[in-house]
Chains A and B, each alone.
Chain A
Amino acid sequence: MSLASSPINQTARAASTHLIQRVLHLDMLLLTLLALLAGIGVVVLYSAFGGEIEPVKGHIIRVGLGLVIMTVFAQIPPARLAPWAPVLFGIILVFLIAVLVMGQFGGGARRWLDLGIVQFQPSEIMKLALPLMMAWFLARTPIPPTFRITAAGLLLIAIPVGLIGLQPDLGTALVVGAAGASVLFLAGLRWRYLLLLFGLIAAIAPVFWVFGMQAYQRARVLTFLDPNRDPLGAGYNIIQSQIAIGSGGLFGKGWLNGTQAHLDFIPERHTDFVFSVFAEEFGFLGVIALMTLYLAIICRGLWIAYQAQDNFSRLLAGGITMTFLVYCFVNMGMVSGVLPVVGLPLPLISYGGSSIVTLMAGFGILMAIHSHRRMWST
């Protein structure tokens, strides 16, 4: 306290805050929260890997790379970004088709596109390209959008979601769909359209159940509804994950002491089920802390959206934050048995790099929206 209040220190702090917020265009609060989260991720992954340091190092490098990408994106003023939205969307769409066509020749599911020098997943970039496109598209006309604009927006969502679903990569298709739908919702998709949409889905679902699904796919859905139906197979993961979470209790079994994790009972414990490891070792209190952290990031993101100065920025910031929200809650929902297992990582904690880049780029855009505000107009 005494140190912090000394004049020299105050000046130093003011200078560093200035550097981060005005020069690097980063949002101090968001940066702190993300860093905390990444720190927790490193700690949990170390345990999930059974005390191995090598893979954890790889994770740290990827997070670092993510920070760099975030900083790069934070430099781009939203007004500069907007015109590129349809271009980016079009290019990624072409890539998605290319992946599908090449997958046809390669025989089987393919998500990666090989451009000689770099390999990447177009579907991953679509998680950002679609909300960008939607925000640009919906901000051009008055809000809330008319029926025709809404219908066009739905089409814009359906095309990439359909292409990704065909790969087939249902988890990503879900996130991309949610990202696009979020923007549409923020732009004020009227309630009656929303009701109509739900009604339509409710009407189609039973038909799809009978005609559109294979017997084993139906079995998987039934297994989600009742994991004990198949305790040796698909239900096994979810049962063991719930045992892990439940046995954590209030205080948890302690770091590196999770028996479920270390005796191999938790499936995919570095990736999709990493939350189970965390909950087992850090208990209910840890879970509350982690959720508070996620919630704080989400609220900060939404606050940025709230304060944004034009429709494009508002919609984009809101859409990006809502995508993050879907990520977090779908993952936690699936490992705790509230939602079916769809294969989504827990942001910034799960091991694996493909999603971290788009995620951090998204946060970069958020920060840009916040730091490039024209101060005189608020």
Chain B
Amino acid sequence: MKLDFLRNFAEERRWVQGRIILVICLALVVAAVLVGRMATLQLVEYDRYSARSQDNRIRLAPIDPPRGIITDRRGQVLAENRPAFNLIIVPEQVNDIDNLLQQLGGIVELTPKDLERFHQARANSRSFQEVTLKFDLTDIEVARLANDRHRFPGVEVQPHLTRHYPFGASASHVIGYVSRINEEELRDSDRTRYRNASIVGKTGIEKAYEDRLHGRLGIAQIETNATGRPLQVLHQDLPQSGEDIQLTLDMELQQAAEAALENWRGAIIALEPQTGAVLALASQPVFNPNQMVSGLDQATFQALANAPGQPLFNRAVSGRYPPGSVTKPFLGLAGLATENMGINETLNCTGTYNLPNVSRTWRDWRPGGHGRIGFTQSVAQSCDIYFYELAHRMGIDLMHEWMTQFGFGQATGVDLPSERPGIMPSTEWKQSRLGEVWFPGETLNVGIGQGFMLSTPVQLAAAASMMANRGRPIQPHLLLSDDAAPPTPQLEPLTLEDERLWQLAIDSMVETVHGRLGTARAIGADLPYEIAGKTGTSQVIGLGPDEEYDEDAIAEQFRDHAVFIAFAPADDPRIAVAVLVENGGSGSSTAAPMAASVIDTWLTHLEETNELSLQPN
């Protein structure tokens, strides 16, 4: 301001005036562009637009694309599309909607929910757009409507495709199911791909590969006469069907796994250790996906979701359990590799273990202990004392570092929704999660796969595969890709300075199944091949220091979980399995035989016939 007398106001005026002239030019240019646009619309393309406005009695009808088919690795169909019939109404063509609904109610069964959805959809669409009143009419309803249809202008029975799962409840947690898109999903979706009537994958593969399976919506432009009856289809943008998807799953093995689980709650996962291909993924109890497609009402759905045993819960990827002793080969290997335990070092297992300055006594599962014992037999006989001592020597953070390399405490990234990571605790984890310091005693619990540690069954199967591959991780996956290369694993390969340790760890697992004192020796007898395995019996409730576990005295939901991991043949692994049975008691008596049966089914019956029937995608 004080320098105003130095300013050349005339110069500044000319400057701004120059800009004003520029703006006038700009306005003229923009106006010219708009005039050009109007001329294009109103003069050049007049005939076209005039015609379109003339017959603006065009009804636009979305055509749902046929959803992609899901098959297993043999090409057996797991999810397909079947014809069904919907009852639709074009509100514009109806004089008295309420009266119509009343009359229709006498012909087909209309629930309050049907009506509510209809009114809502109607409010959201234009009067000449069709609105679905009832989905999936029964054959009888279709026949009745065919009889009476002349009485109801604006009412149509529309054929469409509905999802069907030929295997019913089998593999329901893998395949998942589709159901009608809800408001929230519709809002977040690409509107050009979904309509009110569209279906969308809700769980499993149907959800994970929704993008590929869905395809592209088609649109029919239907010309109607004055009363709105369709005269002809003017133009049709055909829908683009969704992509078919082939899974690595083998339905025969899947059913064998489901049969092995009998009526237990639990999960079995079988992987191909070389590739990470999921051969079977069973979670029990199961649900019937066909029931879900047509849409359950809220009460039925809630009842199903909250049913005892939670049939909608995929235990294989979402269930978190203390893994128990199946972690011992991994931790033992880490102990040897870090030289916290000598290869030939033995300890004297007396059945109890104490920490200095801690009053609590830790017990071995076997009262009286195992006597003098080294690495191999500690795994094979599942000696707890050995691993208490090892854990104490390593400390929780070193354990965390090593177990994390096997994938414990992390989601595997398997291509199914809602996988949970589980927990591999550390001092840092406890500080940030619970805001508490780590106590040395807690390290001992984690040493036998208890305490804060939680794993999902799929994690255990992936870890078993990594052991089978001597440190090469795999990516568990269900999508059978065209190219031979399996998906890149999330984990880094684990290389040991002393490669012989891998053999030592695997041998200890073979000893578990085939050794004279191995905890799983019952399944090892008379096998034409060797299984490397490890049992686990994980506590659901903590026992007091002097309490002893008495299965019969404990209510079922507090009984131990039975766990087993294995791969076979031990020298050339072609299948890796993880079994978890909720409240199943001991790993050796309940879980191990299930794993053995799945392994046997694969190695002796299925594997050979399999390569031949692989379908190129």
Q: Which A residues lie within 8 Å of B219 (CB)? A: 231-232
Complex CA gap A98/B54 in Å reads: 51
User: Is the CB–CB distance between B27 and A230 below 8 Å?
Assistant: no
Confirm or deny: A306 has a beta carbon within 8 angstroms of a beta carbon on chain B: yes
Interface string of B8-30 (1 = CB under 8 A from A): 11001101110111011001101
Nearest residue, chain B, Cβ from A144: B15
User: Is the CB–CB distance between B24 and A186 below 8 Å?
Assistant: no
Interface string of A185-222 (1 = CB under 8 A from B): 11110000000000000000000000000111001001
Q: Which A residues lie within 8 Å of B43 (CB)? A: 249-250, 284
User: Is the CB–CB distance between B16 and A247 below 8 Å?
Assistant: no
Name B30-63 residues within 8 Å CB distance of A.
Answer: 30-31, 33-35, 37-39, 41-43, 45-46, 48-50, 52-54, 56, 60, 62
Q: Which A residues lie within 8 Å of B46 (CB)? A: 246-247, 249-250
Give the contact-size bracket for chain B. 35 or more
User: Is the CB–CB distance between A243 and B16 below 8 Å?
Assistant: no
Nearest residue, chain B, Cβ from A330: B30
Complex CA gap A265/B57 in Å reads: 10
Q: Which A residues lie within 8 Å of B33 (CB)? A: 338
Q: Which A residues lie within 8 Å of B232 (CB)? A: none
Select the residue from B41, B46, B195, B219 with max chain A CB neighbours within 10 A.
B41
14 interchain pairs (CB within 8 A)? Answer: A142-B8, A186-B20, A216-B191, A232-B219, A243-B49, A247-B50, A259-B53, A259-B56, A264-B127, A284-B39, A302-B27, A305-B16, A314-B13, A325-B23
Number of A-B contacts (CB under 8 A): 153
User: Is the CB–CB distance between A246 and B23 below 8 Å?
Assistant: no
Q: Which B residues lie within 8 Å of A260 (CB)? A: 53, 56
Interface string of A289-321 (1 = CB under 8 A from B): 001001100110010011000010011001001
Complex CA gap A315/B17 in Å reads: 10
Confirm or deny: A283 has a beta carbon within 8 angstroms of a beta carbon on chain B: yes
Nearest residue, chain B, Cβ from A318: B20
Q: Which A residues lie within 8 Å of B190 (CB)? A: 215-216, 219
Complex CA gap A229/B190 in Å reads: 11
| New A-B contacts (5) at CB < 8 Å, excluding given A142-B7, A247-B52 | A246-B46, A259-B53, A314-B16, A318-B16, A318-B20
Min CB distance, B128 to chain A, in Å? Answer: 9
Name A249-269 residues within 8 Å CB distance of B.
Answer: 249-250, 259-260, 263-265
Q: Which B residues lie within 8 Å of A216 (CB)? A: 187-191
Min CB distance, B594 to chain A, in Å? Answer: 43
Q: Which A residues lie within 8 Å of B30 (CB)? A: 325, 329
User: Is the CB–CB distance between B20 and A246 below 8 Å?
Assistant: no
Given contacts A232-B219, A279-B42, contact A338 B15 (CB under 8 A): no
User: Is the CB–CB distance between A243 and B53 below 8 Å?
Assistant: yes
User: Is the CB–CB distance between A299 and B15 below 8 Å?
Assistant: no
User: Is the CB–CB distance between B16 and A187 below 8 Å?
Assistant: yes
Min CB distance, A324 to chain B, in Å? Answer: 10
Confirm or deny: B1 has a beta carbon within 8 angstroms of a beta carbon on chain A: yes
- State which of A232, A245, A295 has its C-beta within 8 Å of the C-beta of B27: A295
Q: Which A residues lie within 8 Å of B192 (CB)? A: 219, 222-223, 229-230, 233
Nearest residue, chain A, Cβ from B3: A142
Complex CA gap A291/B31 in Å reads: 7
Confirm or deny: B224 has a beta carbon within 8 angstroms of a beta carbon on chain A: no
Complex CA gap A338/B49 in Å reads: 17
Complex CA gap A298/B126 in Å reads: 39
Confirm or deny: B427 has a beta carbon within 8 angstroms of a beta carbon on chain A: no
Complex CA gap A294/B34 in Å reads: 12
Confirm or deny: A287 has a beta carbon within 8 angstroms of a beta carbon on chain B: yes
User: Is the CB–CB distance between B34 and A318 below 8 Å?
Assistant: no
Name B267-281 residues within 8 Å CB distance of A.
Answer: none
Given contacts A245-B49, A322-B23, contact A143 B191 (CB under 8 A): no
Q: Which B residues lie within 8 Å of A229 (CB)? A: 192
User: Is the CB–CB distance between A249 and B50 below 8 Å?
Assistant: yes
User: Is the CB–CB distance between A318 and B49 below 8 Å?
Assistant: no
Confirm or deny: B129 has a beta carbon within 8 angstroms of a beta carbon on chain A: yes
Select the residue from B13, B17, B43, B191 with max chain A CB neighbours within 10 A.
B191
Name B337-366 residues within 8 Å CB distance of A.
Answer: none
Given contacts A186-B19, A284-B43, A318-B20, contact A263 B38 (CB under 8 A): no
Q: Which B residues lie within 8 Å of A315 (CB)? A: 16
Complex CA gap A179/B24 in Å reads: 16
Min CB distance, B60 to chain A, in Å? Answer: 5
Complex CA gap A298/B29 in Å reads: 13
User: Is the CB–CB distance between A291 and B12 below 8 Å?
Assistant: no
Name A320-378 residues within 8 Å CB distance of B.
Answer: 321-322, 325, 329, 332-333, 336-338
Complex CA gap A148/B30 in Å reads: 31
Q: Which B residues lie within 8 Å of A311 (CB)? A: 9, 12-13, 16
State the main secondary structure of chain B at its contact with A.
helix
Complex CA gap A37/B1 in Å reads: 42
User: Is the CB–CB distance between B45 and A246 below 8 Å?
Assistant: yes
User: Is the CB–CB distance between A234 and B191 below 8 Å?
Assistant: yes
User: Is the CB–CB distance between B41 and A298 below 8 Å?
Assistant: no
Complex CA gap A311/B15 in Å reads: 10
- State which of A259, A306, A322, A336 has its C-beta within 8 Å of the C-beta of B41: A336
Complex CA gap A311/B20 in Å reads: 12
Complex CA gap A129/B360 in Å reads: 75
Given contacts A250-B43, A299-B24, A329-B30, contact A243 B12 (CB under 8 A): no
Nearest residue, chain A, Cβ from B34: A332
Given contacts A216-B191, A318-B19, A336-B34, contact A143 B12 (CB under 8 A): yes
Complex CA gap A195/B33 in Å reads: 23
- State which of B16, B34, B53 has its C-beta within 8 Å of the C-beta of A291: B34
Complex CA gap A12/B200 in Å reads: 76
Nearest residue, chain B, Cβ from A215: B190
Q: Which B residues lie within 8 Å of A302 (CB)? A: 20, 23-24, 27
User: Is the CB–CB distance between A215 and B23 below 8 Å?
Assistant: no
Nearest residue, chain B, Cβ from A287: B38
Complex CA gap A246/B33 in Å reads: 16
Given contacts A311-B12, A329-B34, A338-B37, contact A243 B188 (CB under 8 A): no
- State which of B60, B127, B188 has its C-beta within 8 Å of the C-beta of A215: B188
Complex CA gap A338/B37 in Å reads: 8
Confirm or deny: A92 has a beta carbon within 8 angstroms of a beta carbon on chain B: no
Q: Which B residues lie within 8 Å of A233 (CB)? A: 191-192
Complex CA gap A33/B522 in Å reads: 100
User: Is the CB–CB distance between B16 and A186 below 8 Å?
Assistant: yes
Complex CA gap A143/B7 in Å reads: 9
Q: Which B residues lie within 8 Å of A284 (CB)? A: 38-39, 42-43
Q: Which A residues lie within 8 Å of B34 (CB)? A: 291, 329, 332-333, 336, 338
User: Is the CB–CB distance between B15 and A188 below 8 Å?
Assistant: yes
Confirm or deny: A244 has a beta carbon within 8 angstroms of a beta carbon on chain B: yes
Min CB distance, A325 to chain B, in Å? Answer: 6
- State which of A244, A246, A279, A288 has its C-beta within 8 Å of the C-beta of B48: A246
Confirm or deny: A140 has a beta carbon within 8 angstroms of a beta carbon on chain B: yes
Q: Which A residues lie within 8 Å of B19 (CB)? A: 185-188, 318
Interface string of B167-195 (1 = CB under 8 A from A): 00000000000000000000111111001
Confirm or deny: A248 has a beta carbon within 8 angstroms of a beta carbon on chain B: yes
Complex CA gap A245/B41 in Å reads: 7
Nearest residue, chain B, Cβ from A307: B17
Confirm or deny: A242 has a beta carbon within 8 angstroms of a beta carbon on chain B: yes
Complex CA gap A112/B34 in Å reads: 34
Min CB distance, A215 to chain B, in Å? Answer: 6
- State which of B1, B12, B42 has its C-beta within 8 Å of the C-beta of A246: B42
Complex CA gap A248/B49 in Å reads: 9
Complex CA gap A307/B38 in Å reads: 33
User: Is the CB–CB distance between B20 and A243 below 8 Å?
Assistant: no
Complex CA gap A223/B192 in Å reads: 9
Q: Which A residues lie within 8 Å of B38 (CB)? A: 245, 279, 284, 287-288, 336
Min CB distance, A311 to chain B, in Å? Answer: 6
Complex CA gap A271/B523 in Å reads: 79
Given contacts A230-B191, A242-B49, contact A248 B20 (CB under 8 A): no
Min CB distance, A175 to chain B, in Å? Answer: 16
Complex CA gap A223/B190 in Å reads: 10
Complex CA gap A259/B191 in Å reads: 28
